Amino acid sequence: MQQLQTLDYIVFFFYFIVVSSYGYWIYQRKKSKVESTKDFFLAEGSLTWWAIGASLIASNISAEQFIGMSGNGFSMGLGISTYEWMAAATLVIVAVFFMPIYLKNKIYTMPQFLSQRYNPTVSLIMAVFWLALYILVNLTSILYLGALAVSGISGLNFQFCMIALAVFAIIITIGGMKVIGFTDVIQVFFLVIGGLATTYLAINLVSDSAGMEGIANGIKMMQSNHDDHFHMIFPKTSPFYMQLPGLTVLLGGMWIVNLNYWGCNQYITQRALGADLKTARNGILFAAFLKLLMPVIVVLPGIAAYALYSKGMFQAEMLGEDGVINADKAYPVLLNLLPAGLKGLSFAALTAAVVASLAGKANSISTIFTLDIFKNYIGKNSDEKSLVRIGRIVVVVSMILAILVSPYMGIDKKGGFQFIQEMTGLLSPGIFASFIMGFFWKRTNSAGALFAIVGGFLIALAMHNNFFPFADWTQVPFLDRMGLVFVICVVVMFILGLVLPDEKKGLAIDASMFMPHKSFVIGAVVVLAIITFLYGRFW
């Protein structure tokens, strides 16, 4: 395997200098004399629709997609794209129904919503859960998988790569959401261009020809020789049914995954919470269009790698330390086949995805700890400058914790992407139930929300470890378990809402909030039409 060559390093350092310089320029141009928490954490009013959309994607697409989803593309094929294409549909729903509620009620953090709608106890418990999830699952996974890929491509020491990625992300994060939001536009540019270049060359390698003719022939060859890798819906007989159980991806638990992630997640919603409604909606719609493109960048290379592997290429390189095929190695191995220069561009795309996600996640961790825990319970009299300083300290501490614990999280056991989905799935049903019921049913109360958040987590954990009676829950797909836990939470919340006193903490809502402007409606219809076509084509 060839390592990075001089031209690759030149391309990569060009990316590094562009992002760093642009970030510093944005910081100097937009910094205020007195830093405020709203300005630092939310970049209030300064992010454009294209910056919001790009930042949403840059924060979402990271090592778990490039490495984990390409690995799933290698093993199961196009079916894993359902996470991306269903997310595009979900973003339309979030823009229409969720964002108006947040902005109308001046919500800046997700725990703040829970405090305003229920009580401070619910908010504090959820803030702690979110911090644990963001640090111990998301941040650690992004760092671990990112360092694994960077180390595999560059030949540099794994620990050095982990620390270097963390430091780069810290530099961006301490500039606040303005710097993150606008540098994410550059990150997405490198991510898309570098990702498409990798896909283009990988498919050309499959066809043994060049140019657009090579793309057409390569795709035709992959579909002909590996038809099992081009289906979106898996039957019960499929070995991948446990991960993507049939129509559940269209009618069941996949909606909980996506609506919770895109609509009730500080890490994501934070990008739009500082904007006006029209700007926020346009940014989210832009992100939906980018989401439609993501499988081309992160899944097709995995399928191409499988086609090349089936021809007898890089047989040894795909093996893990235990001598078994490690699908997560597909993308790094593929990058090592690229010519000098383009390999550097693809390397920059991968690094951009990792760093942008690390920065976004660290900023959200900092926001929740500073505004929902420190400000309310520890430093009640702290001024704005002190809170911003605490926020920056939390960024550094969270990165250090992630570096220390990531080797012990078992991220590589099931594949990085699947690890994140299953761990997040322990909390998603209860969180989503507490939000959606809190949005639209005024009698929903604090007792119900506490049951959903704590009880839902315990039920999901019991099922995950097969402690719950009445069935062998390890044989039930985790998406179906999520759907069942969500239904239990909603039923209990409904009962508690009926039998306990009405707390009368409904939100400010009127029907006109949910009427998007004409251009948004046209864009949303186009997104949904494309998704319908894709599922019809690759059923």
Mean pLDDT for back-to-back runs of 10 residues, the chain (539 residues): 78 84 73 59 70 83 79 93 95 94 85 90 91 88 83 83 90 74 76 84 85 88 93 92 90 91 82 83 94 93 93 83 81 81 82 83 89 89 86 92 80 61 87 93 92 94 82 86 95 94 73 87 96 93
Distance CA 32, CA 425 (A): 40
What is the reported pLDDT for 1?
A: 47
Distance CA 178, CA 79 (A): 36
Angle at which helix 384-405 crosses helix 342-367, to 10 degrees, equals 120
Query: Which H or E element spans position 401?
Result: helix 384-405
Contact yes or no for 162/147 (Cβ under 8 A): yes
What is the reported pLDDT for 293?
A: 93
- For the chain, report the end-to-end CA distance as a whole number of angstroms: 37
CATH number of 6-30+57-538: 1.20.1730.10
Q: Which residues contact 312 (CB under 8 A, 6 or more apart)?
A: none
Q: Which residues contact 157 (CB under 8 A, 6 or more apart)?
A: 151
DSSP 98-160: IHHHHHHTT--SHHHHHHHHT-HHHHHHHHHHHHHHIIIIIIHHHHHHHHHHHHHHH---HHH
Q: Where are the domains of the chain?
A: 6-30+57-538
- Which of 506, 387, 424, 115 is closest to 253 using CA atoms? 424
What Cα–Cα distance (Å) separates residue 324 from each residue in 67, 80, 320, 321, 413?
17, 21, 6, 7, 12
3-state SS assignment for residue 338: coil
What is the reported pLDDT for 90?
A: 96
Distance CA 402, CA 420 (A): 14
246, exposed or middle or buried, with CB in 10 Å at 0-12, 13-18, 19+? middle
Contact yes or no for 77/70 (Cβ under 8 A): no
User: Whose structure tokens read 């300005």?
Assistant: 39
Tokens of 209: 């020809």
What is the reported pLDDT for 398?
A: 94
